[in-house]
Amino acid sequence: MSSVTARTQPVQKTKPNEHSLELAKRMRGPQRHRLLQGYPMPGMMIPYDRERGYEPVTVDTDRPLIVGILPHASCNPSVKGCGYCTFPHEAFRRSEVEATVDSVCREVEASKQAGRPVEALYFGGGTANLTPATSFRKLCRIVAKTFDTSQAEVTLEGAPLYFTSQREALLEILESELPTQNRRLSMGVQTFDRAIISEMGRSHLGAPEMVRGAVESARRRGMTTSADLMINMPGQTLEGMKGDLQQASDLGFSQVCIYHLVLFRGLGTPWAKERDKLAALPDNARAFANWQEVTALARQLGYRQTSLTNFEREGHYRYEECSYRPALFDGLGFGPEALSCHTNLEFGLAAKWMNEASSEAYREAVSSHGHGRSRLFVYGQTDLRLLYLTRSLARREACREAYRQSYGSDLVDDFRPAWEALKSAGLVGWNEELLKLTERGTFFADSVAGLLAAERVAELRNGIRPDLNDAPVFRMG
């Protein structure tokens, strides 16, 4: 991104004591950790006008690129939404899934990227490996025609069951249709505790023996493996959390992603409606202590922490790392509720798009317009700074010189009242080169990012849609 004139006034003007009060309130609430959808959250995005004759930001095909593809929004837990899950999820009906994948294929083709090189390609989230083999082969072939994936890291996400030796059709397709030597399987293990797996409705998708079989399938094919593990679940003991991590290590997972469960009244998930589940949750102080113990064990087991949630033991995973550098990488998303973010260096502009969430609405949009876009956000200069900082914080640090080169100002000065409040709370620290999250700040990263963006979010709510002060949309992340 080209440099811009330095601001003469700090971006934030609220008094420091007001920041401290706001921070204390945020730290009492749920900590979502992954900052999955980045800045801004969907509630700040305006409806996308599909009849418009122009786009606010033209795609610069010379920029490095990552691609995310959600083939469909279906899954098949034995209870609604796995109990805890806030991702889009629809009942699995083969004909509808095939129709959605066909729409994704059309959306990819319509993007007309003409062999644009891809640094990392991710099939997911959700249960992407539930895609029927014929549909997945068609999708991979169209992706290979549209993008250059020869040097890309390619990841397929899904439930352990569909990675086992009896169900390896998608792994064979991944190998034969997308030419690359860097393939990863990412699976939602969550826990090895059979009782909790049963409460999730995942006994038929992710029992321990299925996880073991999936890892063996990946190892035979020279693929690396990543496991999502959840901690601080209702009634889960610290010994159970550490036991899950130990088992994942023993199985040979090269990456583990440790997620603190987000659960509170009003979230909308089945578990959030159960009083006994909510009552069995640890408070934030206990949850942080548990998180410290589990992450310390991860390091003892040879894993290196690379983000708020990700720990790697071998190799280096590119998709996540690139997604945390929006000033350098564009992101293209295809499928229901996919996100895209483009920057045009020539004009110093950036925009973010979000696709329709439901499969039916997505298919209709692609059929009529060639894409599934539903919402749009165009970044101003303050927004660009917040995008940079909130994504950088996922890596637990931000470089002051890189920020200065991009925006012509200093990241500490631009948000000093907020940073001072965060420093007083023991969440951040900085020197002349870097601003870093402390260990406590890593756990409370959602509060850090929320405080930084609070004033700008209030401006957007008042200036774009005042009714956005109503109940927000919370997504896992």
pLDDT of residue 468: 34
Q: Where are the alpha helices (DSSP H) in 186-315?
A: 194-200, 203-206, 208-220, 238-251, 275-279, 284-300
Contact indicator for 323, 310 with CB cutoff of 8 Å? no
pLDDT of residue 2: 38
Tell me the two tokens of residue 301. 């087991």
Q: What does DSSP say about strands 428-430 and 397-399: parallel, antiparallel, or unpaired?
A: unpaired
Phi, psi (5° rounding) for residue 74? -100, 150
pLDDT of residue 78: 64
- Residue 125: asked if its preceding bond is cis (omega within 30°), the reply is yes
Q: What does DSSP say about strands 153-158 and 74-75: parallel, antiparallel, or unpaired?
A: unpaired
Contact indicator for 246, 301 with CB cutoff of 8 Å? yes
Distance CA 172, CA 168 (A): 6
Give residue-wise pLDDT tens across range 5-61.
334 345 555 555 899 999 999 999 988 765 667 899 888 899 998 887 667 888 888
Tell me the two tokens of residue 354. 């979000």
Tell me the two tokens of residue 349. 């502009």
The identity of residue 21, as a single letter, is L
* pLDDT beneath 50, residues of the chain: 1-9, 465-477
pLDDT of residue 465: 44
Tell me the two tokens of residue 419. 């940073």
Tell me the two tokens of residue 55. 């786009």
Q: How far is CA 471 from its chain centroid?
A: 22
**DSSP label at residue 254:** S
pLDDT of residue 58: 80
pLDDT of residue 34: 57
Give residue-wise pLDDT tens across range 149-193.
999 999 999 999 999 877 899 999 999 999 888 999 999 999 999
Distance CA 167, CA 74 (A): 18
pLDDT of residue 41: 86
Distance CA 469, CA 276 (A): 29
Distance CA 314, CA 215 (A): 15
Inter-residue long-range contacts of 463-470, CB under 8 Å, 24+ positions, other chains counted: 464/44, 464/46, 465/46, 468/43, 468/44
pLDDT of residue 80: 62
Contact indicator for 190, 200 with CB cutoff of 8 Å? yes
* DSSP run (H or E) holding 229: strand 224-231
Q: What does DSSP say about strands 339-344 and 46-47: parallel, antiparallel, or unpaired?
A: unpaired
3-state secondary structure of 49: coil
3-state secondary structure of 15: coil
pTM across the whole model: 0.91
Contact indicator for 96, 42 with CB cutoff of 8 Å? no
Q: Select from 315, 333, 309 the least CA-distant residue to 123.
A: 333
The identity of residue 199, as a single letter, is E
Query: Across-strand partners of 227?
Result: 187, 256
Break the chain down into helix, strand, coil percent, rounded to 5.
45, 20, 35
pLDDT of residue 9: 45
pLDDT of residue 474: 36
Tell me the two tokens of residue 276. 């006994």
Residues with Cβ within 8 Å of 206's Cβ and at least 6 positions away in sequence, in order, are 159, 160, 161, 187, 188, 189, 190, 197
